[in-house]
Structures are given as structure tokens and as C-alpha cells.
Amino acid sequence: MTSCRCEDDENFISQIFGITNSTNGIIYDARPYLNANINRVFGKGFHNEGYYNNTKVKFLDIPNIHAVKSAYKSLVDQTYDPSIVTADGCNWRQIMQKITIGA
């Protein structure tokens, strides 16, 4: 598996620790873990905990931007059209819970 590094990211996280006097931290990755691993296989972005001192990576399992946009559009459509009756059929609530609970 490819495991590219980004020294700029590593230095940035280290500087944040220095400013905040933190000894450990969390990197929140909005993607599902599976999506992040697929990106890693293709040499794309993936935060490897081993490259960041005292840092954990937490995946929030939020769908891609197209799914979020579609859920938002569905929510807005339901708001303006009273004939649409669903029990959160647009998944907007679940997406927002993943964002707020993860943080």
C-alpha cells in the first residue's frame, strides 16, 4: 500500500500543538474509513497516525459532497412542497448527527 507523506501537514499539526500547549490531538476526517483507504491505495490523501506524534485520526463517516448536496436539496424540496411527506427520507438529519457528534 502506498503511504505518501506530507511534511507540511505534519509541521502544521506540530505547530498547532505548540501554540495550544497540547500533548495529543485528534484529526477529524469527514470521509468514511473505507473511502479513505481506497484513496490511500491510489496514492491520495490519508492521514497516517504514525506520522503525527500523539495524534489519533477519527473518521466521521459522512457521505461524499454529492450525497450531502442531494440530501440538502431534498430537505429544501420537502420544506417548500407540503405534499412531500417523509420520515427524514432525505437523510439530512443523519448527516448532521455525524458531523455534530463526531466533533
- Return mean pLDDT, the chain: 78
> Are residues 34 and 64 in contact, defined by beta-carbon separation less than 8 angstroms?
no
pLDDT greater than 60 at residue 31: yes
**Which pLDDT band holds residue 70 (cuts at 50, 70, 90)?**
confident
2 within domain boundaries: no
- State the average pLDDT over residues 72-101: 70
pLDDT at 30: 84
For the chain, how many structural domains are there in total?
2
Residues 52 and 20 in one domain: yes
Residues 54 and 11 in one domain: yes
DSSP symbol at 46: -
Residues 79 and 97 in one domain: yes
Residues 26 and 46 in one domain: yes
Residues 73 and 30 in one domain: no
Cell, residue 7: 511534511
Reduced to 3 states, what is the DSSP secondary structure of residue 13? helix
Residues 48 and 23 in one domain: yes
pLDDT at 102: 57
Which one has a higher pLDDT value, 87 or 76? 76
Percent of the chain clearing pLDDT 90 (strictly above): 0
pLDDT greater than 80 at residue 7: yes
> Are residues 32 and 67 in contact, defined by beta-carbon separation less than 8 angstroms?
no
- State the average pLDDT over residues 66-78: 78
Residues 49 and 70 in one domain: no
pLDDT at 95: 77
- State the average pLDDT over residues 1-24: 79
Give the residue from 73, 68, 74 showing the smallest Cα distance to 96: 68
Q: Name the one residue in this structure whose C-alpha cell is 420544506.
A: 79
CB neighbour class for 1 (10 Å; exposed up to 12, middle 13-18, buried from 19) = exposed
CA–CA distance, 26 with 15 (Å, rounded to integer) = 14
